[in-house]
Amino acid sequence: MANIFKLSALAGPVLTLALGAAAVDWIVFERVDYLADVQIVNPIEYSQTLYARGDYRTAEEYARLFLSLPGVSAAQTPGREVAEVLKRAEAVRASPGYVAAETMKGFFTGGSAETYGEAAGFASDLTAVGDVRDLLRESARWYAGEPVDAFTAGLSALGIVLTAAALTPEAPAAATAKGAVSILKTAKRAGKLPPRIERELVEAAAEPWAVIGRVAPLDAVVEAGGRGGAKAAWSSFLQELDVGRTALAAEGGRAAKKLESLGGLTRCAATQGLGAALEVLNRSENLADIPRVVRTAEKLGGDAAAVLRFGGPGIVRAVEKRGVAEVMSVYRFGPEVVKLLDRLPAKTVLRDVRHFMAATSRASYRMMKRGVRIFEGAAAMLSSVLSVAGWAGRLAARRVRRRTEPQ
């Protein structure tokens, strides 16, 4: 019986341990548990991976942006390692052979992943050269029964009619729209055009495509190319366009009015660079959303292209809700952390992320959390058992005393 009383006396300390485990669980784990499934970017691994797969432009842009973030120093880890990746990427991208190859690729095929390659492709698209090139290529595919890129063909048609409108009263609007069309084509090639915007633009290009089909029958042009080669097709097409330039110019004026909302995109490319304009498109949900993202890019200034690129789909909302300074304070931890700013202030997110990262790695974090909760449950259960045992022991002791007392 005495042993039971001794055990029951342990119920209080055991319960205290259970409460302590619960407190540790809350302070160390529960408070930052929302971060357990959030992907926190390791800048060293990320930049090295980009370089290793040959994406030198992205590696350089990421490294440069990371080193400019608050609290990052090139003299300390992880800044030191990221700075080394930056140095290597810069060396590759500055080599004459690499620059020449990417520039030629951009101008003639529009397929370069480099800024100067994109700029060369963009320059060719600003003239009729790029539009005719792309339209004839897609027409040849159509004539041969091969799959046709309706978006590229449609925007090429838009580009041609807008170029034709350059000598009409609609020239200023046509020039702005022409610049936007060239950006859109470049974005498509770079894989930065959301599907919904692509569908909207294909619909907008339907009438210009029909007008070109009437002015310069594409099947006849392709047949001419079959007889005399690409040069013959090119000459035949240009001749037909020249004859029908009045109809093309009229359609170009109408198209310019339809694309007035894209003026901000052209302005963004002129003031912040083509890269920023491409990232604006990449972060826009539809055509109507473009002006909103342009305003975000303007707030971000010279870093707009890189911040939009690496900030993930939540970057625009985060900048609108919290401001640039708060976004940049947590930016180093990756897009999923940036997205948390939609419901938490940067100060809270920054504190919790640092606490989470300082505590342990993700795998051991989960193991420790499970261990604390098992101990918490076991201690609470043992405390209950000991309390019940103590209560039963006291009840049994009373009954024994009653039996032994003289009647």
Domain coordinates of the chain in residue numbers? 2-39+356-404
Q: Report the C-alpha gap between 322 and 262 in whole angstroms.
A: 26
220-239, pLDDT tens digit by residue? 666 655 565 556 666 767 77
Query: Quick check: 149 pLDDT over 90?
Result: no
Q: Report the C-alpha gap between 193 and 184 in whole angstroms.
A: 7
- For 123-128, what is the mean pLDDT? 60
pLDDT of residue 75: 92
pTM of the model: 0.69
The helix/strand/coil state of 147 is coil
Query: Quick check: 25 pLDDT over 50?
Result: no
When pLDDT is cut at 50, 70 and 90, the band that residue 26 belongs to is very low
Residue among 355, 338, 307, 315 at smallest CA distance from 39: 338
Residue among 60, 40, 7, 123 at smallest CA distance from 361: 40
Query: Quick check: 300 pLDDT over 90?
Result: yes
pLDDT of residue 218: 66
The helix/strand/coil state of 375 is helix
When pLDDT is cut at 50, 70 and 90, the band that residue 5 belongs to is very low
271-294, pLDDT tens digit by residue? 998 889 999 999 999 988 999 999
Query: Quick check: 116 pLDDT over 70?
Result: no
Query: Quick check: 374 pLDDT over 80?
Result: no
- For 376-392, what is the mean pLDDT? 52
307-317, pLDDT tens digit by residue? 999 999 999 99
pLDDT of residue 376: 52
The sign of the dihedral angle between the CA atoms of 93, 96, 97, 102 is: positive
Query: Quick check: 152 pLDDT over 80?
Result: yes
When pLDDT is cut at 50, 70 and 90, the band that residue 7 belongs to is very low
54-69, pLDDT tens digit by residue? 888 899 999 999 999 9
When pLDDT is cut at 50, 70 and 90, the band that residue 37 belongs to is confident
pLDDT of residue 161: 85
Residue 131 or residue 224, greater confidence: 131
Q: Report the C-alpha gap between 86 and 67 in whole angstroms.
A: 9
When pLDDT is cut at 50, 70 and 90, the band that residue 363 belongs to is very low
- Asked if residue 240 lies in contact with residue 216, where contact means CB atoms within 8 angstroms, the answer is yes
Residue 185 falls in which region: left (phi positive, over 0), alpha (psi -120 to 50) or beta = alpha
* Mean pLDDT for the chain overall: 77
